[in-house]
Amino acid sequence: MSLIETRAAVGPLHRHISLRPEGQALPDVASMVKTLRPEEPLHCIRPGVIARAAQAFVRDFNGDVLYAVKCNPEPAVLRAVWEGGVRHFDCASISEVTLVRRLFPGAQIHFMHPVKSRAAIREAWIMNGVRDFVLDSASELQKIREEIATPDALRLNAQPGLFIRLALPETGAAINLSKKFGADFETAVALLRAARPVAGKLGVAFHVGSQCMDPLAWRDAMSLAGEAIRAAGVRVDVIDVGGGFPVAYPDMDPPPLGAFMAGIDAAFDRLEMPHIKLWAEPGRALVAGGGSVVVQVQLRKGDMLYINDGVYGALGDAGALSFRFPVRLLRRGQTLGAPDAAFSFFGPSCDSLDVMNGPFILPDDVAEGDWIEIGQLGAYGTCLRTAFNGFDRAMLVEVSDRAMLETAGYEAMDQLATI
């Protein structure tokens, strides 16, 4: 007899440490490192930073704000996003849908992946109250129509919200999201016409790409969406401007969020379609500053530091995408501030691709046993961890520190903390 087991590829981080007596302030990173002396990566979540970023986005965006759950689905992060006033969630898998539904029975969940399994559509529709689905092909439209027309599904007597994902020409984003998804202009027009008669709510969605530094990308996308709507000649209820809103990294200093919001508002006004509602699906912009990982130096060879987390852990974007992240040294006792020097990191696995070139700027006397806090990892950090090579242990704490780097105008935290 064979045994069929299902288990998640990556379990949640197991040990959730709260050293906080009820009602008291969260500890800071330095004191956690001092207490725990962690020899495994220590994932630090800053709920206050996330809640403030969410609050600012909700305040400044002229429509509904959907948090893109894939960016960081950690329950503590979701709770902080909720705390900041976000009530809509952009989910891409049934696991994300059920996680959000379990945490927030009152949340509005939107299934915004253009290619879904039939089982996921059914379960979302029947069990989780999901009504909105994105699509970029006639086959997906057909699939959704079939799955919400089963006897069980029909009993709900609801109409779907259907969103046509429009592909965009190349933008200035760090990560392009229009190669894999999105209907070309003619297909989008045809899909709008085909979906209108069966949709309770009809939308156009796009994504300019992640970490998009140029507000004009949204202007161009908005006007393309407007052209598609006019060409289709049907009533459209929502334009979903997607995610992609950038945050600061050591070598990227994006314009403030207000510049993006102003650009979107102006482009929307030019469409002269005032009955249309706007949605946005930010991920990175809400949570990047709210996460960091404290790693320990296991060996130093010249300017190469062998650390206990890497590209198969939370630092994937520091590898293939060559992202630079802010760093600071955490070390015991008094230090004479050595001059800064540039380092690259090697992760713990045996794979020679497990390398992060940086450069990461740290005091020149960094040594084995020191800890390094790597910041701006709240987005696409912890959630990318794998169990490769057995390096899957980690701890998670919630802390009170401010972000290590914020958008223009803020200073980085001190580069050296004594613990």
Ligand X SMILES: *Cc1c(COP(=O)(O)O)cnc(C)c1O
Task: Please state, as a whole number, how many other Cβ atoms lie within 10 Å of the Cβ of residue 245.
Answer: 26
The pair of three-digit structure tokens given for residue 246, joined into one six-digit string: 């950038």
DSSP lists the bridge partners of residue 68 as: 90
Is the CB of 121 or the CB of 285 nearer to ligand X?
285
Is the CB of 296 or the CB of 376 nearer to ligand X?
376
Is the CB of 282 or the CB of 375 nearer to ligand X?
282
The CB-of-3 to ligand X minimum distance in angstroms stands at 35
Its sign, for the CA torsion 208, 209, 210, 215, is: negative
The CB-of-204 to ligand X minimum distance in angstroms stands at 13
Is the CB of 242 or the CB of 290 nearer to ligand X?
242
Single-letter residue type at 245: F
The CB-of-64 to ligand X minimum distance in angstroms stands at 13
Euclidean distance between the first and final Cα of the chain, in Å?
56
| Structural Rg of the chain based on CA atoms | 23
SS3 (DSSP) at 416? strand
The pair of three-digit structure tokens given for residue 249, joined into one six-digit string: 């990294």
The pair of three-digit structure tokens given for residue 119, joined into one six-digit string: 């089982």
CA distances from 14 to 243, 340, 397 (A): 30, 36, 11
The CB-of-240 to ligand X minimum distance in angstroms stands at 8
Q: Which residue is nearest to ligand X (CB)?
A: 243
Is the CB of 283 or the CB of 310 nearer to ligand X?
283
The CB-of-381 to ligand X minimum distance in angstroms stands at 12
How far apart are alpha carbons 301 and 249 in whole angstroms? Answer: 26
- Residues in the site for ligand X, rule: CB under 6 A? 68, 70-71, 90, 112, 207, 210, 242-245, 281-285, 379
Check: CB of residue 359 under 8 Å from CB of residue 319. Answer: no
Is the CB of 46 or the CB of 207 nearer to ligand X?
207
The CB-of-329 to ligand X minimum distance in angstroms stands at 29
